[in-house]
Amino acid sequence: MGSSNIDIEAIVKQVLKDMTGGQTTQAAAPASNTPGAIPKTAHVAMLTSLEHFDVKEFPIPELGDGDILVKVEGCGVCGTDAHEFKRDPFSLIPVALGHEGTGEIVAMGKNVKKDSAGKDLHIGDKVVTCMIFKDNPDITMFDLNKQNVGGADVYGLLPDDDVHLNGWFSDYIFIREGSTVFNVSDLDLDSRILIEPCAVLVHAVERAKTTNILRFNSRVVVQGCGPIGLICIAVLRTMGIENIVAVDGEAKRLEFAKMMGATKTVNFKEHKGIEELAGAVEASFDGHLADFAFQCTGSPVAHSNIYKFIRNGGGLCELGFFINGGDATINPHFDICSKEITTVGSWVYTLRDYATTFDFLKRAKGIGLPIEKLITHKFPLEEINEALKTNLKMEGLKIAIVNK
């Protein structure tokens, strides 16, 4: 009994010593792992050479009055990340990638009160970022819908600097004053990871609506059933459009297209030549060509083909070429002029589209679309190289990095 009392007294003395600041450096180290504690360093997946990330450790900078520190929960792998991983088309290496991310606010400057939509921000809120408008401070929620955000900076595609915590492929990201940020605490993690790619499709459908051709009863063909095409189908379905035909060459993706709301599907591998393929699309619409088409692949051949699926006086939204995929061959007389096709291009989104996407995700779930199933593979940060290789091999649909 006496021995036990001595042990307890020793423990109490040590605890009191620690509380008064007398602890040694070794004793203090575990504190960074306790709930709510902020470590002094962060781990960042840096693309240091083609097809290779190194997870590096950097000090977390001191926050300014308008800055936010976010503990990253997860980030989707975008086709842009895959292009950078494979070829570095933007000449950014070394770079911290990841722009489809989300996480929890763990610290913020004294001037941070509200998000970009006017919603209150607090420690513990779940957030996403859109763009950084440091060079255009006059842009607001209410005038940005006049232009897309292609010319702005984005976390995950910033040149490396002395902050380093610039991408969502990390365990902490440093959100700088002047950035757009949204409180999305009412969405689950998978939905938050899908916000950025979904915003691309919300914008595309809004662009399509400017033609005054896309309506509730339109016959719509969606070509390409990767994540972008599948989300396109889901956005159309949430708008009440029901007559949707999906075109792709992979049976599994076509099955998923039906889950997202496609009425019928066409596998282009089962048809020889564009005339036969166009006939299959027409047959899927009971002998009619499409009123409107969405071209969601980065294939020039696919772009050339899409006009054959559209009726005279129909419309087309081309959104598949985020980067230069090469030239496409069309016949302007037969494909555009004589058919009077109305064509719009779509690239990224406006800030207003980004905010609208939150409601789209809620609506999609409300009508039973399994949006979260788009994320087929999840990898921890330390396995990011494997995650990107999985994406390049086109295994699954949406790949995500999810922190432990």
- Residue 239: CATH number of its domain: 3.40.50.720
What CA–CA distance (Å, rounded) separates 214 from 217? Answer: 8
Same domain? 204 vs 180: no
Greater pLDDT, 289 or 323: 289
Residue 328 has pLDDT above 90, yes or no: yes
Would you give the end-to-end CA distance of the chain in angstroms? 43
Please report which confidence band the pLDDT of residue 147 belongs to, taking 50, 70 and 90 as the band edges: low
Please report which confidence band the pLDDT of residue 36 belongs to, taking 50, 70 and 90 as the band edges: low
Please report which confidence band the pLDDT of residue 130 belongs to, taking 50, 70 and 90 as the band edges: confident
CATH number at residue 77: 3.90.180.10
Q: Is residue 103 part of a domain?
A: yes
Same domain? 205 vs 338: yes
Q: Is residue 67 part of a domain?
A: yes
Q: Is residue 105 part of a domain?
A: yes
Query: How many percent of the chain have pLDDT more than 90?
Result: 78
DSSP readout, 191-224? HHHTHHHHHHHHHHHHHHHTTT---TT-EEEEE-
Pick from 329, 345, 361: which residue ends a domain? 345
Pairing of strands 310-318, 290-295: parallel
Same domain? 166 vs 215: no
Contacts from 379-383 at CB under 8 Å and sequence distance 24+? Answer: 380/404, 381/43, 381/45, 381/55, 381/169, 381/170, 381/171, 382/55
One-letter identity of residue 126: K
Residue 357 has pLDDT above 90, yes or no: yes
Q: Is residue 21 part of a domain?
A: no
Query: What confidence score (pLDDT) does residue 34 get?
Result: 42
Same domain? 59 vs 142: yes
Same domain? 50 vs 128: yes
Same domain? 272 vs 387: no
| The two three-digit tokens of residue 11, written as one number | 């423990």
Same domain? 247 vs 176: no
Kindly report the pTM of this predicted structure. Answer: 0.86
Same domain? 123 vs 224: no
Q: Is residue 317 part of a domain?
A: yes
Same domain? 229 vs 97: no
User: pLDDT by residue (tens digit) across 257-269?
Assistant: 999 999 999 999 9
Query: What confidence score (pLDDT) does residue 224 get?
Result: 97
Q: Is residue 3 part of a domain?
A: no
Query: Buried b / exposed e across 216-242, counting CB within 10 Å, b at 16+?
Result: eebbbbbbbbbbbbbbbbbbbbbbebe
Same domain? 232 vs 134: no
Q: Is residue 32 part of a domain?
A: no
Mean pLDDT for 340-354 is 91
Same domain? 333 vs 374: no
Same domain? 327 vs 209: yes
Q: Is residue 358 part of a domain?
A: no
Query: What confidence score (pLDDT) does residue 37 get?
Result: 83
Pick from 345, 361, 382: which residue ends a domain? 345
Query: What confidence score (pLDDT) does residue 15 get?
Result: 38
User: pLDDT by residue (tens digit) across 38-97?
Assistant: 999 999 999 999 999 999 999 999 999 999 999 999 999 999 999 999 999 889 999 999
User: pLDDT by residue (tens digit) across 92-127?
Assistant: 999 999 999 999 999 999 999 999 999 999 999 999
Q: Which helix (H) or strand (E) holds 233?
A: helix 227-238
* Segments forming the whole domain that contains residue 267: 198-345
> Domain tally for the chain?
2
What CA–CA distance (Å, rounded) separates 214 from 210? Answer: 8
Closest by CA to 104, choosing from 200, 220, 183, is: 183
Mean pLDDT for 205-228 is 97
